[in-house]
Amino acid sequence: MDRPSLPGSLQLLLSDDPVLDLYSYGPWRVPDGLYEQVRARAVALNGDPAAEALAVELPGFFAEDTTVIGAELWHLLQFLVGSVALCGGSACDLAYETMSDFVAEPRQPNRSWTWSSGDTPFLPPAYWLMDGTGDDPELRELALGLARRCLDVFAGIEPLEPRRRALIALHDLRAADPALAKEDRVAPLEALPGLWAERAGPELLAVLPELLGPAGYLDWACSGFLAAHTRLIEHVPGATSAGPLPGTALTFEHEVTLACLLAQAEVSEVPAELAMSLGLSRYTQVQAGFSRLREGFDADTWHSLVRSWLARGVLAGEAEACRAWLDMAIRVSGAVQGLPGPAVNPESSLPVTAFQRDLRVLCAPRRAVNPLLARYVADQRPHTDPAAELVGQPELAEALRAVVEARWRGDRRPARLLLAGPDSTGRMTAVDILRRALAGPTALPRWSTSPTRCSPA
């Protein structure tokens, strides 16, 4: 019997380690102490004397000693995550992990396994920093230099690196060109985001799609959504349809699903901007489907159908495509709700919480084996990898597999392992794996005086 499993790139989703899971990047184990380092950098830069020359009145949301630099860092962080990007994990509350010093009413970061998405008014070159510069070229130059230094605060958070480096490339591009550097010092403030976006090439825009404007961002998100949907309807089996809605003909699968996505987003009509991604013919079909669905649309039923379909996707080995589908669906919802302006953090019926829970339940390693398997089924091995919980420790994982396999072959000799290393290297996890895998009247672990050593008899 084959049990559901995740690809190696997603194994961290089953871990209890601090995980930052930006869906567009993948789960990432947060190194111990990194958030504290980022926080220290942010506090130090917030206190830079240069902030006095750029001071503006900040909203009451920010703490009294927060300068224009701290306010800039707060909004820059959300932009680095991505506008309405899906972010999950047990260490995804980035703002309160690293920037809580800057808010008037700080709270403890949420470290349960959760998810979030958020919009942001930030667009390069800066948000707060430019407000106090007016038409002064020297203040403009000072603000741009601080904006570039703000990006250094977030170095080391790997899921944010592609977007951070893209912003650095934009800064470097304009600073290296005398004409562009002069433009930044003299152009009207309100024109700067557009001027910066115009100079971004296709590679940078693919990483920073917000620079495409509201319609361009919707086109980017919708094309990604359709690509993920195509993958899933080709590989996820269904009883009466290839997609989440039973009885839907494959010919119209994309159009019906898009119509449902718009209905759950509670928009009043199909935005004309969608024709950029769909073409006129498909756009007309989505309009017709939306008109039929809108009045009697049941968001709860749709939520349940999509949840079940995505769960089948996980069973079919398409967890990565399921995650891409949800990420792009959230972005499309936020983009259409924000039109004609930028994307907003959407109200939606997308089953993100349920999907995360289903994935962890379906793919979790079996924690116990019924003893009847060993009694009645000859040479029966466990159906899961006993060392699946150990991520990034291949030698230790192989040693544990050897011990468990020997016991299943009937070898009753004592198995002794000496585990040594710093914190967060899997020692206690390995001990717990051995305890569960070898539990029985003749296989209880004997603890030594050190918690890093056990000897299952």
Maximum distance among all Cα pairs of the chain, rounded to whole angstroms: 84
Whether pLDDT at 451 is above 50 = no
For the record, the structure tokens of 280 come out as 């006129």
If we measure between CA atoms, which residue out of 414, 417, 358 comes closest to residue 387?
417
Query: In whole angstroms, what is the distance from residue 46 CA to residue 73 CA?
Result: 9
Query: In whole angstroms, what is the distance from residue 369 CA to residue 365 CA?
Result: 11
Query: In whole angstroms, what is the distance from residue 25 CA to residue 159 CA?
Result: 6
| Exposed/middle/buried for residue 367 (C-beta within 10 Å: 0-12, 13-18, 19+) | exposed
Give the pLDDT of residue 4.
82
How do residues 328-357 score in pLDDT, each as one tens digit?
A: 999 999 999 999 999 999 989 999 999 999
Q: Which strand (E) or helix (H) includes residue 5?
A: none
- The pLDDT > 70 percentage for the chain reads 88
Query: In whole angstroms, what is the distance from residue 113 CA to residue 13 CA?
Result: 9
Query: In whole angstroms, what is the distance from residue 70 CA to residue 89 CA?
Result: 25
Query: In whole angstroms, what is the distance from residue 311 CA to residue 293 CA?
Result: 24
If we measure between CA atoms, which residue out of 81, 107, 2, 9 comes closest to residue 319?
9
Q: Are 72 and 115 in contact (CB under 8 A)?
A: no
Span 9-38, average pLDDT: 95
For the record, the structure tokens of 100 come out as 């809580």
> Which distant-in-sequence residues (6+ apart) come within 8 Å of 64 by Cβ?
104
Query: In whole angstroms, what is the distance from residue 231 CA to residue 304 CA?
Result: 21
Strand partners, 20: 28, 89
Q: Determine the residue type at 413.
A: R
Q: Are 209 and 265 in contact (CB under 8 A)?
A: no
Whether pLDDT at 392 is above 90 = no
If we measure between CA atoms, which residue out of 256, 149, 117, 276 comes closest to residue 212?
276
Whether pLDDT at 150 is above 90 = yes
Q: Determine the residue type at 120.
A: T
Span 359-373, average pLDDT: 81
Looking at per-residue confidence, does 34 or 431 come out higher? 34
Count Cα neighbours of 191 within 13 Å in the Cβ-side half-sphere. 10
If we measure between CA atoms, which residue out of 178, 191, 102 comes closest to residue 141?
178
Please give the backbone phi and psi of residue 8, each rounded to the nearest 5 degrees, phi first: -55, -35
Query: In whole angstroms, what is the distance from residue 175 CA to residue 198 CA?
Result: 15
Q: Per the confidence metrics, is the pTM higher than 0.85?
A: no
> Which distant-in-sequence residues (6+ apart) come within 8 Å of 229 by Cβ?
243, 253, 254, 257, 325
DSSP 230-251: HHHHHHS--SS-SSSSTT--GG
Give the pLDDT of residue 409.
59
> How does residue 410 score in pLDDT terms, banded at 50, 70 and 90?
low
Number of H helices, E strands in the chain: 17, 7
Cis previous bond, 422, omega within 30? no
How do residues 180-214 score in pLDDT, each as one tens digit?
A: 999 999 999 999 999 999 999 999 999 999 999 99
Q: Determine the residue type at 284.
A: T
What rounded mean pLDDT belongs to the chain? 88
Query: In whole angstroms, what is the distance from residue 195 CA to residue 180 CA?
Result: 9
For the record, the structure tokens of 300 come out as 């709860």
Relative orientation angle of helices 253-264 and 299-315, to the nearest 10 degrees: 130
The least confident of 165-169, 312-316, 450-454 is: 450-454
Strand partners, 417: 454
Q: Determine the residue type at 174.
A: R
The separation between the first and the last C-alpha atoms of the chain, rounded to the nearest angstrom, is 30
How do residues 217-252 score in pLDDT, each as one tens digit?
A: 999 999 999 999 999 999 987 666 667 777 676 667
Give the pLDDT of residue 441.
37
Span 20-27, average pLDDT: 97
How do residues 84-95 score in pLDDT, each as one tens digit?
A: 999 999 999 999
Span 391-413, average pLDDT: 73
DSSP 91: S
Residues 253, 258, 263: CA angle, nearest 5 degrees = 130
Q: Determine the residue type at 205.
A: L
Residue found by looking up tokens 């209890």 in the block: 16
Strand partners, 116: 87
> How does residue 411 score in pLDDT terms, banded at 50, 70 and 90?
low
Relative orientation angle of helices 68-81 and 137-153, to the nearest 10 degrees: 50
Whether pLDDT at 157 is above 90 = yes
